[in-house]
Each structure stands twice: as structure tokens, then as C-alpha cells.
Structure 1
Amino acid sequence: MTAVRLALSELRRLAAGRLPKLAIVAMALIPTLYAGLYLFANHDPYGQLEQVPAAVVVQDEGTTTTDAETGEETERDFGRDVADQLLDDGGFGWVETSQADAEAGVRSGRYDAALIIGPTFSADLASAGEFEPQQASLTLITNDANNYLAGTISDTIVGKVRDSIAEEVGTEAADTFLRGFASIHTNLADAVDGANQLLKGATSLDDGLADADEGAHTLADGAAQAADGAATLDGKVGTLASAVGQLDDGAGQLASGLGELRSKTADLPAQTKQLADGAAQVADGNAQVAQYGREAADAAGQVLPTLDGARSDAADALDQGRSDLDQQLSDLCAQVPDDATDLAAQCEDLRAQALDRLDTTRADVDGALDAQRTDVQQAVTTVEGASTKLDQLADGSRQVADGASTLAGATPQLTAGIASAADGADRLADGTGQLADATPALVDGVHRLADGTGQVSDGAAELAAGTTKLADGSGELKSGTQDLRDGLAEGLGQIPDLDDQTREDTASTIGNPLEVRNDSLSSAGTYGAGLAPFFLSLATWIGAYVLFLLVRPLSTRALAAGRSALATALGGWATPAAIGVVQVAAMFAVTKFALDIQPSYGLLTALFLVLVSGTFVAVLQALNVWLGAAGQFLGLVLMLVQLVTAGGTFPWQTIPQPLKAMHQFMPMTYAVEGLRQLLYGGNLATVTRDVVVLLGVLVVALGLTTLAARRQRVWTVTKLQPELVL
């Protein structure tokens, strides 16, 4: 309780009077003012870039591009497109103006940056498609004397514009390139088809020449044989005259015989017609008989199911009758008096004999029925066989009728043919007479034929030799054409054949081959929220620092009274720590509700800020207790060191090596790290480590203060009259 009383006593001392109370309120609000103003001023500067003036100058003269596939010309003005993109949503507040005005504006500070698009910008971008590549360029004018970050941001914005243009132009160039592949593929496919047709023609030519070569040799052989035959014919033509005379006599006899045959077959068509009509009547009768046979077979097939049904009904009736007889006899025997034992036994015997006789009768009936069913089955089988034979008979008779009808239909043609043959024989006889008259002239022609076939034989031999050479050449043509076809087909397989969608997707990927996906494990949201951990930690240190401008680090009365060193140290720490709680509460409320920076872990963030404040108060208390005014100055120096080593803005790995070594030993390092995790929804295990480190610093600082309080029980001249008082 001594530490609590000391803290309350210090609070009463501080609150004694109006100005001290106002001073306490001011100290409580200093961290809020510091952090709130900084975070408010830097809440979202990138969202206000449209207020930053910048100039864009368009000097581009445009260019004409030619579609590689259709040959159509298109006017392009990439510079105008870039300017429109910037004026529409280009980050800065872009204004289109002249080059002179833009340069003067950047020099005077009226514009923070100027972008100049040169006159050959479009032509340079399109030059690669004409195979006269020129790298297009944009001129960015900045002035660090106006604002360094404005120049840096300008570089970033123009870089994005450059990437966008490069992607658009690269995609368009890749699309044109792929369209060229499509044209090449189409033309090469036509060439392959032509080569296939050429190969087919060469193959046909080779086959034809091979056949021609074979035919030429065959012709040569045939011509030689014809020459030999003609010579032989020439030697035997003398006997032709006598043979023609004999032929003339035979033709006369043939004409006489065929005339007699024609007269005897004149009545044959009518006779065959009568035969066909009779055969048709027989076939109809047999078909009707076969129909009767099938009906009889169907009726016979129904006998067995009917017989089986009747037998089943009779069996059911016998079973029911036996059951009724058994019941009636049982009822009759049951009416016998109990004292007539012999009569009851006789009744039971009679009932058993009756049932046995009934069963025997039923067995005899079943046997008789089985025998009858077997006879009926045989009869049904016989009827069905007869029906089948009748069907065969009907089919055969129908075939006979059809054949007779066909014969009747063909007989007129036969008689007409005989008559025609008789007429032809008459004409043959006339012709042979004429042939006999012309035979002498034929003998003379045969002599001339023998001479001509000799000449044909010599020409055919020469033709065979020429076709052999031609066939050899066509084989080489076929081989070369096949090699051409195979080479074109192989080249066609190596050229891509893309559909429109695949070509567009491929061109887009070539124009922009890399996509960066932002997969953030945690996000601050705005620039101000990103700086919040650093500014909150720094404001907490400043709040703790100004407290000791008014609050005494140790109670002089407690030291003079010989109070416990630990109680004195805790009493001196509790008062500024309590005011520190008010400081962080006000700062947290303004940050959350006024600046709309929403922590992922709200309660844990508030408690962590309380721990940070208490730790910073303990560190500054220890410095003040041990070093006095020099310790208070050292607290300011320590704040400056932590500004650059805590990694609140840039990553701490980027600071120079001497300062980098101090990063792990500064308490603000762990305050910034813990607030980042709590504000952005990071790793709570890291927060646990930061809490342990800050608690360790708090305990060490309070321990050093306790040790100093123990030593300050002894009063010295330096303590009574310090050399430096702040």
C-alpha cells in the first residue's frame, strides 16, 4: 500500500491548482495530438494524387499500319491514346499543354512533372512490324527542388503507362505475328495438297508408263507375232476360196432347218400358259390344306393345357372331398358315447378304411390320366409333324407354280428367238454368197497386210525401247515428288495452326507474359494505417517523455522517510503510468473512431499500448533517477535513435550497419512490431514474444529504479545542489 499512497500523494501534488490540472490534461493529450495529426496528415496521400498538377504534351504525328492478313491500312495515334489514358485516370491531375509551358511550369513549381510524347512516338512503336525497329520513348521532366517524392511517384506512374503501352503493342505485334503463322500454315497446307496431287499424278504417270512400257513390249511382241501370222496367212489364203464355198452351202442348210423349227414351235406359248395355270391351282389347294393342318396343330396344342387344367381342378375337388369326408366321419365318431369304446374304435377304423380307399381310387385315376395324357401328347406331336409336312408341300407346290409361270413367260421369247434365228440364217446364207464373190479381193488384201505388219513390227520395237527410258524417268519424278510432299508435310506440322481464341490468348500472354498476384497475408489498407504502428509507438514515447517534465521520478519525502526502495520506485512509476493509460486511451480512441483505422484485434491492441506506455515510462524513469537532467536529455537522444532503428517506415534491414546492430536492443522495435501484428491481423505468436521482451524491459527498468532509490537514501552535496537543472 506504500507505493499506492505515494502515487496518490504525487497526483494530489500535481493537481494542486488550476494550471497544474491543465498541465496534466495537456500531457495526456500530447501523444494523441502527435499521433493523430501525423496519421491524419498521412491518411491516404496516394488517394489525393489527382490534386498534384502535372503536364502532358502530345506531339505525336501518328502512323499508318497495315494488316498482315487482310492488307487493310489503319491510322494509329498511340500518343493520343496515352494522353487520353492519363487525362482520364492517370494518377496525377494531368493537364494537356505545350512543351514550352510544361517546361516553364515544372521549373517554377506550377507543375510537379511533365510528360512529353514525341512526334515519332506512334511510328517508332509500329516500326517493329515493318522490320525497321526503332525504340519509342517518353520524356519525363521532373524537378526535385519542387518535391522529391513527386518525381519518384511520376517515375512509377510513367512506368505503369510504359508497361501498359508495351503490353498493348506487344500483344498487337504478337497477334500480327501469329496471324502470319496462320497465313503461312494455310498456304503451306495448300502446297501440301498440291504436292499430294502432284504425287498422285506422278504415281499415275509412273504406273501408266510402266503399263505403257509393258504394253509397248507386248505390242512389239504382238506386232512380231502379227507379222509372222500375216506371213503365214498370206501363205494359206489360197485355200480360203474353197472354204468360203463350203460355208455358203452350210448356211443354206442352217436356214432351211431353222425355218422348219419355227413352224413346229408356234403353239408352244399357249401350251406353257395352260401348264402354269394348272400349277397355280394346285399350289392354292395345297396352301389351303396346309392352313387346315396348322389350325389342327394349334387345336391339338390346346388339348394338353385343357387336360392339365381339368386334371388340376379334379385333384382340387378330390382333395376338398377327402377333407370334407374326413371331417364328417370325425364328427360322426365324436358323437359316439364315451362308454361305447368298441363302437368308437370301429368308427375310427371305418373312417381310416374309407380314406384309404379314397386315396387308392385317386391314385388309380391319376395313373389312368397320365396314360391318357401320354396318348394325347403323341397325337399332338403327330398332328404338328403332319402340319409341318403340309407346309413344306404347300411351299414346294408354290415353287412349281412359280417356275411354270416363269416358263410360260419365257416361251414367247424362245419362239421369237427361233424365228429371229431363222431370219438370221437366211441373211447368213445371203452373206456367205456375197463373201464367196468377194474372196479374190480378200486374198490380194492379205498379201498387202503381210507387208504392212512387218513394218508395224519394226516400229513397235522402237516404241518399246523409248517407253522403257520414259518409265525410268517417271520413277525418279515420283521419288522426287514424294520427297517434296514429305518435306512440306513435315514443315506444316511444325507451324502452329491456332483458332481465333487461342491466337488472341497467346498474343495477350506474349504481350504480358507475367502476372503478379498480390496474395497479402495481412493488409494495412491505407498509407496512414501503414504508418500507424510507428507513429503510435513514437507518440507513446513522447508522451512518457513529457510526463517527467512535471512528474518527479521518485518521491523525495519517501526517500527522506526511509521508505522501501521498491515501494518508492513503484510509487514514482505508478503516477506517470496512470497518466500514460489516459494518454493511450485517448490516442487509441482518436485512431479508431476519428481516423477510422480499425485494428484486427481491438482489445489486445489497447492492452498492448498500455504495456508499451508503462514500459517507456519505466525506462525514462530509470534514466531520470540515475542521471537526472542528463538522463532526461538521454531520453530525447534515445528517442532519436529509435526513430531510425525501429524500422517504422522503411524495413530495418535497409539502415546502415552501425544502426542496424542497435535494432534488436531498442524497446520501440518490439512496440512497432507488436502493433503491426495486432493492427493488421498478423501472427499472435510474434506478439507474445514482443510482450515478453517489453515485460522484461519493464522489470529491468523498475529494478534499476529500485536500486537507484536504495542508493539515493544517502544525501550528497551534488544532490542538494545539482550542477544542471532542466
Structure 2
Amino acid sequence: MFKAEWGWFKNNKFYYVVMAALILIPTIYTVVFLSSLWNPYGETQDIPVAVVNLDQKKTYEGKELNLGADLAKNLTKSDAMDFSVISKSKAKEGIDDGKYYMVITIPKDFSKNATTLTTSKPTQMKLKYETSSGQSFVAGKMTEAAVKEVVTNVSTEVTKTYAKTLVGSIKQLGAGTKEASEANTKLASGTKDAQDGATAIQTNLQALADGSLTLENGTKQAQSKLSEYTAGVSQADAGSKTLSAGISDYTAGVASAATYSQQIKAGLDKMNSELNSSETQAQLAELNQEYAQLKPYLSDSGLQDLIKTYKTATNNSLDAALSANGIDGDKKAAIENDFANNQAKDESIVKIEAKLNSLIKDGKLSRAMQQIDSALGQVTELQTDVSRLSSGIDQVSDGLNTLNGKSAELQNGSQNITTGLDTLSGKNQEVLSGISQLSDGASTITSGSQTLASKSGELASGLGSAVSGNQTLADKLGDASKKTNSLKSNNTVFNQISKPVTSQGHEKDRIPNNGTGMTPYMYSVGLYVGMLSFNVMMDMVTPRRRPKSFLGWFGAKLSLLTFYGVVAASLVFALSTWLLGLRPVDPLATYGMLVLTAMTFGAIVTSMVLWFKKPGSFVAVVFLVLQLSGSAGTYPIQTSSAFFKWLNPYLPMTYAVRGFRETIMIGGSAWPDVKVLLGILVVFLIIMSGYYAVNMHTYKMMKDPVAIED
């Protein structure tokens, strides 16, 4: 049977040509088609794109911005696509006529919108584009991707410009922060002097309080003695000796009170002199002035304002700031070089904000502010009270001195006391009332001086807290100044700010171009079409001599099918590697997949044609369409409809495409797909052999008009 089958070609030489043409069909279908789209994404430089520049230049930070012209110029230099800068009317005419696949329009406010970042209402820069995907859907998608890349590049350049301005402003902020740090250090020093003065006031007030207590005790003693005196007036005759003793005690008390009043007066004079000295007044004035200047920034809301100031003070570039301050020439170059040599610390503003927020959260500054306000108010009250107390103690001191000077006369007059007892008795009530008022006044002096001493202590404590707070703030501002000054102003920093995130990808599979990616699909389609053509042109039914067994008949036809499958697969592999430059990861496995796929599709198509004749060819074509749609050869099956997602696992081409992908691009094992294809091949070979077995009786008695002698 084998010899008869192949000998038939010898007598029908025309079928040599037919066989040769059939063998070329998979190659033509695969190689020719793949060559047309082998590397379309690498040839986009010839896709025509029109560029219309309507942008109007704009001045920003003393510099002229003409971003539209710059973008148009860069596009014409790009080899990504064939960009042409033309008028709006020509661009519309060109895209309508199919001359251009896309028109990119740069609007007139393109440069203007780039300068709105620091305004209250920033406006985005927008590129307008119009595509014509009707002429080529793929070209439309390519041009859209190109526009996205252009937008990304323009955004990066504009952000870099913003970054330059931001870094310059941060540098200026650092200089201002340094000055604020120095000012706070001075304030802390002045507050320390005020604290020392408050401590001295507290010491003198304590001395006054002690002297006042002595005066109070003395007046109480005098009040007690006068009570005894007035009680003894009625007994003057009998108690003259007691009166003399009482007068002696009285005069001693008066002398003691006079001494103490002098001490009080000296203390008050000293305290009043210190409080009203030009140095103290100057220190208090300076303290009040510096405190008034600092107070808005020491409150929680003030610190929030300071944080906002750091965040928003980013509008002047370094170059503009130096020029505005009259710094140019070598000095300007030296400053810019110094900035360039510092290490970038772009997180400094965030750290300043965090530290200031920490001060707010702890409440230290808020408590210190309350203490300072209270202490300053008490200092004013202290000055007034001391002035009043000094005036009153002068009167008391004068009275006591006068009284002390009359003690001798009182002592001598005690001898004449008897004669004046009647008159003195009438004045007893007035004397008791006066001494009671004196005692009350002494008590008031004592209480007031104690209060002043206590409040001056609180003032000293509050000023101490202010010293600590001011010094802490000065240190923090100093740290902030150092960090902002360490920020570099060079292209590396600008690039980091404008494009902080980049991507670095790695393709694990070997897919150098679009054609390689399409090869598994086209291999499968080409081999299926080849087998379909083979069955249309070649007779896989009629035996070339009377068959003796169905296996001989089946084997002879299978040898013809195998020959065609192997030769066609070999030619497809050879030409795709030689002509197209396909470089499979595993060439041998790829060739084996080609032969297996050809034989599997051959068995499927032949079985359909054998059993269903011409309708079988139609069924084979329908089956091809289903496989083209559901094998995920071009797009992921996940993007297909629910029907094809369900159908995908039941299509032989699904496993052929997956197996080719493993051997050509991925480099993994194709064995799972090979097992499925082998199973399908065996099943359809059995179906083929079944046809010959069933139809054996039809040709069993045939004559051998085409038989070939053994």
C-alpha cells in the first residue's frame, strides 16, 4: 500500500507541483504575514504627526518663557515620529485628507499657565491632540502613547523649573531663619537680665516685708502699753510708778519703731531707686519691646503662621534673590558655588514643621507666655505700690523720729503727769483709736510687702521660663538655618524634585519585537491553514490499490500526511529563522512543537474531511475561526467575552500557542501543552483509522487499475 500510494505521484506528476504549492502555504501564510508586522513599533519614525504651536511667550521671575516654541523645536528633532510644525488650517486639512494620523496643538496660554503655580488659582498646562484612528487604529494608539510621553517630558521640565525656584526660596528662608535665631538669642540674653533684676527686687521686698513685720509687732506692743496707760490714768496717784515704767517701755518702743522705720525707708528707697533707674527702665522697655515683637510667634497660632510662612515662602529663585540684594560678580559666584557644594536635605521643611508642632503640642510656650504676661503686669503694679509705700513710710518715719525726739520731754513731763491726768483721761479714747490705726497700717504694710515679694518671685520664675523658651527657639531656628543652607542647588537636586520616582523594569522573556510575539499564533494558524489546503487538494480516501487491511490503507495515507506535515513544518522553521531572524530560546523544542502541531492539526482536519466529505471542510473552516477567536493568540483571553473564556481550554490551538511561547520566548517547559496535543493527536488518529476500518468493505473487491507491480 505504501509503494502504491507514493508510486501514484510518479504517474501523476502534476501533483508534484500541487504538493510543492501545498507545502509552501504554511510558510507563505506565516513568514509573509509576520514579515509585514515584524517590528512596527520600531519603525514609528515615519508616522506623520502635525504640530500646531499657538503658544504666546510669557515673562516669569525675570526670565522669558517660550515653552511652546521649545516643545515644537524638540519634537521636530525627535525621531520617535515624523513631527511637522505647520499652521492650524494646514493641520486640519492634512488630518482630514489622511496625510497625518495626529495633530498636536499647543494652546496660546501654554507658557502662561506654567507660571501660575504660586498663584491662588494654579492652572494646568494642557496639550490638545486629535487622532484619526479610522485610517489606522494601531497608528492611532501609537500616536496617543507618543502624546503621553510628550506630556510626561514637558511636565518633568516644568517641574524642574519650579524646583529651581523652590530651592532658591528655601535658601532665602534659611538666611532669614538664621537672623531670627540670632535675634532670639539676644532676646534670651535680655530676658535673663530682666530675671536677675526681678530676683534683686524680690530680695529687697523680702527685706521690706521683714521690717514691716517688726513695725507691726512694735505698734501692737505700743497699743498694748497705751491700753495699760489709759487704764491707769484713773489710778494716776496710786500708779505713778507704774506709769513711769510704762512710759519708759513706750519710749523704748518708739525708739525701736523709729530704728525699724529707718531700715524700711532705706530698703524702700533702694528698691525704688533700682526700679526707677534708667538702666532698669531701659531693660524693661527693651524686654517689653522684644516680647511684643516675639509674642505673635510664641503663641500656638503664631507658630502655625510661622509654619505656613516656611511652606509658602518659595517664590524667589536664588539668582533673583542675589540680584535683588545687589550681589553680583565674584561674590555672587562664590555664594552659588557654596550652595552647590552642600548636601541636599529636601526633608528639612518637614522636620522644622514637626519640631514647631512639637512645641505647640507640649504646651511649653503657651504656659511660658501666660507666666510672662502675668509677671510683666505685676512689675507695673510693684512700681506703683513701692512708690505709695515709700511715701507712706516717709510719713511714718518722720512721725516716729519726732516722737522719739520728744521722749525725753515725755520722761520729764511724767513728773507733772498728775496735774495733767484729767486732761489726758479725756484724750484716752483718741490715743487708743490712733494707735489702732497705726497697728492696722503696719499690718497692711506687712501684707503688701509679703505679696510683692511673692509676686516678684513669680516674675523671676516666669522670666526664667522665657529665657529657656527663647533659647530653645533660637537653637531650633539655628538648626533649621543650617539644614536649609545645606540644600544643594544643582541639576541633580532639581531632577530629584521634578522626577522623584522612576521605574526600572526587567523583561524575563526574550521578545525583541512584535513579530516574535506574534510567531506562536501565526505558526499555529499557518499550519492549520496548510493542513486544510492539503485535504482540499489531496485525496485522503481513495486507495491506490486494493487494500488488504485497513491498517495498510490507513498507514499509507498517514505517511503522506506525515510527509507533508514534517516538510511544511521544516520549511516554516527554516525560513522564519533565516529570513525573519527569529531566535527561539529553545530551537530544537520549537521545531518539535512545529511537527507535533502540524500532525495534530492534520489529524483533526483529515478526520473531519474523511467523515463528512465537503461539509467536513466547511466544519474545519468554522473550527479554524473559533480557534482564531478563542486561543488567545493576539490578546489575553481575559479581555475576551465569556463564551470564548469558556471555550479556550477546549481548543487545540490554545495549547499550540502556549507551547510555542514557552519554546520561543519564555524558556519554560512546554511539556504540559505537548501532552495535551499528543492526546488530541492520538484521539484523532484513532478517528481516522476508524474511517478506514468502517469503509474497508467498499474497496475490498475493487480491481487494481492503479496498482503498481511489487
Shorter-chain TM-score range? 0.5 to 0.7
What amino acid maps onto 2:538 in structure 1?
A: V
1:664 corresponds to 2:656: no
CA distance in 2, matches of 1:699, 1:531: 28
> What residue is the counterpart of 2:20 in the other structure?
25
CA contact (8 A) 1:213 1:464 kept: no
Of 663, 679, 684, 1:701 maps to 684
Deviates more, 1:461-470 or 1:586-595: 461-470
1:552 corresponds to 2:359: no
Of 119, 135, 154, 1:130 maps to 119
1:629 corresponds to 2:602: no
Taking the TM superposition and a 5 Å limit, the aligned residue runs for 1:452-471 are: 461-465=268-272, 467=274, 469=382
Partner SS state of residue 593, structure 2: helix
Residue 15 of structure 1 and its aligned partner are, at CA, apart by: 4.7
Partner SS state of residue 525, structure 2: helix
CA distance in 2, matches of 1:613, 1:557: 24
Q: Which stretches in structure 2 are left out of the alignment for 5+ residues? A: 211-260, 276-381, 384-455, 700-710
CA contact (8 A) 2:184 2:473 kept: no
What amino acid maps onto 2:184 in structure 1?
A: A
CA contact (8 A) 2:5 2:543 kept: no
Taking the TM superposition and a 5 Å limit, the aligned residue runs for 1:321-332 are: none
Are the structure 2 counterparts of residues 502 and 649 from structure 1 closer, same or farther at C-alpha, using a change threshold of 3 Å?
Answer: farther
Residue 189 of structure 1 and its aligned partner are, at CA, apart by: 3.4
Are the structure 2 counterparts of residues 131 and 702 from structure 1 closer, same or farther at C-alpha, using a change threshold of 3 Å?
Answer: same
> What residue is the counterpart of 1:483 in the other structure?
469
**CA deviations over 1:348-372 (Å, ceiling 9, x no partner):** xxxxxxxxxxxxxxxxxxxxxxxxx
> What residue is the counterpart of 2:55 in the other structure?
60
Residue 677 of structure 1 and its aligned partner are, at CA, apart by: 1.0
Of 550, 568, 592, 2:553 maps to 568
Of 497, 516, 521, 1:534 maps to 521
What amino acid maps onto 1:592 in structure 2?
A: T
Residue 495 of structure 1 and its aligned partner are, at CA, apart by: 9.0
Residue 587 of structure 1 and its aligned partner are, at CA, apart by: 1.2
CA distance in 2, matches of 1:456, 1:144: 106
Residue 213 of structure 1 and its aligned partner are, at CA, apart by: 7.6
Residue 530 of structure 1 and its aligned partner are, at CA, apart by: 1.0
Partner SS state of residue 95, structure 1: strand
Of 128, 134, 154, 1:145 maps to 134
CA contact (8 A) 1:552 1:572 kept: no
Are the structure 2 counterparts of residues 512 and 14 from structure 1 closer, same or farther at C-alpha, using a change threshold of 3 Å?
Answer: farther
CA contact (8 A) 2:608 2:620 kept: yes
**What's the RMSD between the two structures over aligned residues?**
3.3
What amino acid maps onto 1:195 in structure 2?
A: N
Are the structure 2 counterparts of residues 478 and 507 from structure 1 closer, same or farther at C-alpha, using a change threshold of 3 Å?
Answer: farther
Are the structure 2 counterparts of residues 459 and 75 from structure 1 closer, same or farther at C-alpha, using a change threshold of 3 Å?
Answer: farther
Of 41, 47, 51, 2:46 maps to 51
Partner SS state of residue 123, structure 2: coil
Taking the TM superposition and a 5 Å limit, the aligned residue runs for 1:195-594 are: 195-207=184-196, 210-211=199-200, 461-465=268-272, 467=274, 469=382, 476=462, 479-480=465-466, 482-487=468-473, 489=475, 497=483, 499-501=486-488, 508-557=495-544, 561-594=546-579
Are the structure 2 counterparts of residues 574 and 510 from structure 1 closer, same or farther at C-alpha, using a change threshold of 3 Å?
Answer: farther
> What residue is the counterpart of 2:421 in the other structure?
none
1:106 corresponds to 2:89: no
CA contact (8 A) 1:178 1:503 kept: no
CA distance in 2, matches of 1:496, 1:650: 57
CA distance in 2, matches of 1:642, 1:492: 74
> What residue is the counterpart of 1:191 in the other structure?
180
> What residue is the counterpart of 1:653 in the other structure?
638
Are the structure 2 counterparts of residues 90 and 60 from structure 1 closer, same or farther at C-alpha, using a change threshold of 3 Å?
Answer: farther
Q: Percent identity?
A: 23
What amino acid maps onto 2:512 in structure 1?
A: G
> Computing the radius of gyration over CA atoms, which structure comes out larger, 1 or 2?
1
Of 70, 79, 86, 1:97 maps to 86
Residue 702 of structure 1 and its aligned partner are, at CA, apart by: 0.4
> What residue is the counterpart of 2:584 in the other structure?
599
What amino acid maps onto 1:83 in structure 2?
A: A
TM-score, normalization by structure 2: 0.61
Aligned residues: 471
> What residue is the counterpart of 1:358 in the other structure?
none
CA contact (8 A) 2:204 2:267 kept: no
Residue 660 of structure 1 and its aligned partner are, at CA, apart by: 1.8
1:676 corresponds to 2:661: yes
Are the structure 2 counterparts of residues 50 and 503 from structure 1 closer, same or farther at C-alpha, using a change threshold of 3 Å?
Answer: closer
What amino acid maps onto 2:627 in structure 1?
A: Q
CA distance in 1, matches of 2:164, 2:187: 34
CA contact (8 A) 1:174 1:511 kept: yes
Residue 507 of structure 1 and its aligned partner are, at CA, apart by: 5.4
> What residue is the counterpart of 1:40 in the other structure?
35
CA distance in 2, matches of 1:524, 1:506: 36
Partner SS state of residue 549, structure 1: helix
CA distance in 2, matches of 1:463, 1:27: 127
> What residue is the counterpart of 1:224 in the other structure?
none
**CA deviations over 1:144-202 (Å, ceiling 9, x no partner):** 33222222211111011111222232344345335434433442233122112210122
Are the structure 2 counterparts of residues 626 and 457 from structure 1 closer, same or farther at C-alpha, using a change threshold of 3 Å?
Answer: closer
CA distance in 1, matches of 2:593, 2:549: 29
Are the structure 2 counterparts of residues 567 and 512 from structure 1 closer, same or farther at C-alpha, using a change threshold of 3 Å?
Answer: farther
CA contact (8 A) 1:569 1:702 kept: no
Residue 47 of structure 1 and its aligned partner are, at CA, apart by: 1.7
Partner SS state of residue 75, structure 1: strand
Are the structure 2 counterparts of residues 191 and 481 from structure 1 closer, same or farther at C-alpha, using a change threshold of 3 Å?
Answer: farther
What amino acid maps onto 1:60 in structure 2?
A: D
What amino acid maps onto 2:271 in structure 1?
A: A
**CA deviations over 1:52-85 (Å, ceiling 9, x no partner):** 111111111122222xxxxxx2222222232223
> What residue is the counterpart of 2:155 in the other structure?
166
> What residue is the counterpart of 1:364 in the other structure?
none
Are the structure 2 counterparts of residues 675 and 495 from structure 1 closer, same or farther at C-alpha, using a change threshold of 3 Å?
Answer: farther
CA distance in 2, matches of 1:49, 1:153: 8
Are the structure 2 counterparts of residues 524 and 208 from structure 1 closer, same or farther at C-alpha, using a change threshold of 3 Å?
Answer: same
What amino acid maps onto 1:483 in structure 2?
A: G
CA distance in 1, matches of 2:68, 2:637: 42
What amino acid maps onto 1:704 in structure 2?
A: I
TM-score, normalization by structure 1: 0.60
CA distance in 1, matches of 2:581, 2:98: 33
What amino acid maps onto 2:42 in structure 1?
A: G
Partner SS state of residue 203, structure 1: helix
CA distance in 2, matches of 1:213, 1:502: 54
CA distance in 2, matches of 1:465, 1:567: 137
CA distance in 1, matches of 2:19, 2:635: 34
> What residue is the counterpart of 1:316 in the other structure?
none
**CA deviations over 1:681-724 (Å, ceiling 9, x no partner):** 4212xx001111111111000001111211112449xxxxxxxx
> What residue is the counterpart of 1:429 in the other structure?
none
Residue 666 of structure 1 and its aligned partner are, at CA, apart by: 1.2
CA distance in 2, matches of 1:678, 1:91: 32
Residue 533 of structure 1 and its aligned partner are, at CA, apart by: 1.0
Are the structure 2 counterparts of residues 601 and 217 from structure 1 closer, same or farther at C-alpha, using a change threshold of 3 Å?
Answer: closer
CA distance in 2, matches of 1:594, 1:486: 78
Are the structure 2 counterparts of residues 90 and 129 from structure 1 closer, same or farther at C-alpha, using a change threshold of 3 Å?
Answer: farther
